[in-house]
Amino acid sequence: MEQLGFEFAVQPRRLTKVSPARLATFGDCPRRYRLSYLDRPTPPRTGPWAHSTLGAVVHNALRALFDLPPGRRTPERAAALLSEHWQDAGFADGEQAAVYRARAKEWVAGYVEHHDVASDPVGIERWVSAPVNPEPGRPASMIIEGRADRIDQRGGELVIVDYKTGRRAPDEYEARSSQALAMYAVAAERTLRRPCRKVELHHLPSGTVAEATHTPESLRRHLSRAQETAEDVRLATDTLDAGGDADVLFPARPGRRCSWCDFRPSCETGQRAAPAAKPWELLAP
């Protein structure tokens, strides 16, 4: 019988889904990646961290603020929303938690006072996903996905906004070198079908904004690095599924981060590498 041209022996390439969080975790410590995403049941973790609680509360308050009509997005309402969403998890005691709650109220109130919050964003905590290839014109080689804090539209173009509450104010270099922001920009442009080149880091404690404008080449470089890491992850995962040695395929990468790693209770290497941090030690002074 005449063949119809189908190549039954050729299997379509499986596209690996990657997110900034997963890629960053694997880059920091492959063992932590395995413990986070592959081992089931998930191994024991540490308790909550105060700096993570603080960041989550600020994000939740700002998300709730943009759910309100523009006329109600006032500094006073922002501070009230911060209190409504507040949690004490990870803080040393109620007194320390109260100090940081008061600071965070000032942060969000000042943010609303000094930034334009009247316009409705295109997305708040918006999930974006897109098949991509770093090389233009070639078939997709991976699917990038993630949740952007905020996506604005300004003058017909999209802008990625990421909130920061850490000790140090970020700068333009950090905005430009952020793989996460670059991936969000690419995925947002593909998902929402509008140009997206500008990314911003909004640091609430200092009230500063670090911004960068990408070029197609700079985005391609970020995607190329993401694909390299994604290939390493896929190879290690497939080999593990085939019976490979977990400790060889996903080795620990000990260092200072071991002090505050969520999986410290499950990692003897990390316990030997650095002393355990207190849950509140990573808060800004």
What domains lie within the chain, and their CATH numbers?
A: 123-226 (3.90.320.10)
Q: Which residues contact 180 (CB under 8 A, 6 or more apart)?
A: 20, 21, 24, 146, 162
204, 111 contact by CB (below 8 A): yes
Distance between CA 154 and CA 180 in Å, rounded?
A: 21
Give the separation between CA 234 and CA 99, rounded to whole angstroms. 45
pLDDT digits (tens, 9 = 90+) for 73-99: 999 999 999 999 999 999 999 999 999
Q: Is 255:270 a contact under the CB 8 Å cutoff?
A: no
Nearest to 247 by CA among 261, 238, 255, 236: 236
| Of 99, 98, 158, the residue nearest 126 (C-alpha) | 158
Q: How far apart are the C-alpha atoms of 65 and 59, rounded to whole Å?
A: 10
Confidence class for position 13, pLDDT limits 50, 70, 90: low
Sign for the CA dihedral angle at 88, 50, 261, 147 comes to positive
Q: Which range, of 45-49, 57-61, 98-102, 281-285, averages the lowest pLDDT?
A: 281-285
User: What pTM did the predictor assign?
Assistant: 0.91
